[in-house]
Each structure stands twice: as structure tokens, then as C-alpha cells.
């Protein structure tokens, strides 16, 4: 019997299939082990071994998983913190290839909405921006993005965005402030 993997195979489902196959195998061969069922299942999917099938599925998952930064992040002022310069800040990260677009919506203390959008190329090179500015951006690992803004060759500001290990929080650290955002 030959099986075909779906476009987005799920390793947990394959593990359940292997356990079900083990039960069937043990009816005919009581000495059969899980490794035997895994090997047989991998062969049914056209792979030489369970580790080869496992690696293939993980590789597909890595390619199709959303980028840790992608999505919308929200911060809201603590009502007890008098003097907050913002009421709220919303960031939307879109990551496509070697470009990261950050769209932000800031509601200042007076209630005025300020919108901005920047596209960064985090490859360690400096790129010109509007109004005589230039930005150098780079990845410091899969969950940390650093950007340095310059004008006339002088550093004007630095910002680091870091996504938590579990992907639910984003910390923005700059020369002037640290803001913690929640996904959504």
C-alpha cells in the first residue's frame, strides 16, 4: 500500500498513525515494536526510514510556519501611570522574503492618531529613507530585530524588537523607552 503526504503534514498525526499500525502489527507479530511500525509507515509514504520522514515533515513545517514577528501587536497605557506619552500603540509586522514592513498606529496622550510605515531590509546594510535619514537593520537571531537610524552619518536612534520564546509578547527597546506588547 502506498500513501501520499498532505501538503502540510502533521508530525503528531503521523505518530498516531504509527501507533495504530503498531497495534495491527502486534496482532500478527506480538514482538513488533514502535520502531517497526514507524519504519513501515515511513516506507508506505516513500521514505527509507522514520528519521527521513520525520526530517522531511519538520522541514515543511519550518518553511510554512509564520514568522515570529508577523502579525499585530498592541500596547495600551497603564491608567495608573500618569504622564504616559501615548494612550495606545499598535504595530503590524509583515515579513516577506528579505523585507520587514512595520506599520504603526500611535494614539498620543491628547487622543491624536499618528500613522507611519517603514520597510526594513535586515541584512546589515544601510538604506536611505525619507527626509535625509538612513536605516541599518539586522537580525540578531530569529526573534530579535535591531534597527539604527542615522542622519548625516550620525546615529539618531536605535531600536530593538524582541519576540518572546513563546511568541506571545514583543518588547520594543529604544534609547528613550521600553514598551511591552501583546499579540493581537
Domain ranges across the chain: 11-64, 71-183
Average pLDDT over the chain, rounded to whole? 91
Q: What is the mean pLDDT of residues 85-107?
A: 92
Q: Considering only the top CATH level, what class is 71-183?
A: mainly beta
Other beta carbons within 10 angstroms of residue 124's beta carbon come to 10
Q: How many whole angstroms from its chain centre is CA 34? A: 33
Q: Indicate if the pLDDT at residue 94 is higher than 70.
A: yes
180: helix, strand or coil: strand
- pLDDT per position as a tens digit, 33-71: 999 999 999 999 999 999 999 999 888 877 777 889 999
Q: For the ranges 15-19, 37-41, 70-74, 97-101, which has the lowest average pLDDT?
A: 97-101
Q: What is the mean pLDDT of residues 71-75?
A: 96
Share of the chain above pLDDT 70, in %: 96
As a whole number of angstroms, the longest Cα–Cα distance in the chain is: 78
Number of H helices, E strands in the chain: 3, 10
- pLDDT per position as a tens digit, 115-134: 999 999 999 999 998 888 99
Best CA proximity match to 88, nearest among 160, 184, 183, 181: 181
pLDDT band at 1 (very low <50, low <70, confident <90, very high): low
pLDDT band at 149 (very low <50, low <70, confident <90, very high): very high
Amino acid at each position: 500500500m502506498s500513501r501520499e503526504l498532505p501538503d502540510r503534514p502533521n508530525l503528531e498525526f503521523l505518530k498516531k498513525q504509527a501507533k495504530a499500525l503498531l497495534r495491527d502489527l502486534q496482532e500478527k507479530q506480538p514482538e513488533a515494536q514502535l520502531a517497526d511500525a514507524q519504519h513501515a509507515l515511513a516506507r508506505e509514504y516513500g521514505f527509507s526510514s522514520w528519521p527521513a520522514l520525520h526530517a522531511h515533515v519538520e522541514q515543511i513545517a519550518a518553511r510554512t510556519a509564520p514568522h515570529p514577528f508577523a502579525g499585530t501587536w498592541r500596547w495600551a497605557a497603564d491608567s495608573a501611570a500618569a504622564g504616559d506619552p501615548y494612550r495606545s500603540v499598535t504595530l503590524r509586522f509583515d515579513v516577506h522574503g528579505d523585507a520587514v514592513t512595520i506599520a504603526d498606529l500611535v494614539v498620543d496622550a491628547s487622543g491624536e492618531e499618528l500613522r507611519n510605515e517603514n520597510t526594513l531590509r535586515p541584512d546589515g546594510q544601510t538604506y536611505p529613507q525619507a527626509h535625509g535619514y538612513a536605516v541599518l537593520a539586522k537580525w540578531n537571531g530569529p526573534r530579535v530585530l535591531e534597527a539604527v537610524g542615522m542622519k548625516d552619518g550620525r546615529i539618531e536612534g536605535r531600536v530593538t524588537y524582541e519576540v518572546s520564546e513563546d511568541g506571545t509578547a514583543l518588547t520594543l527597546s529604544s534609547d528613550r523607552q521600553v514598551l511591552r506588547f501583546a499579540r493581537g
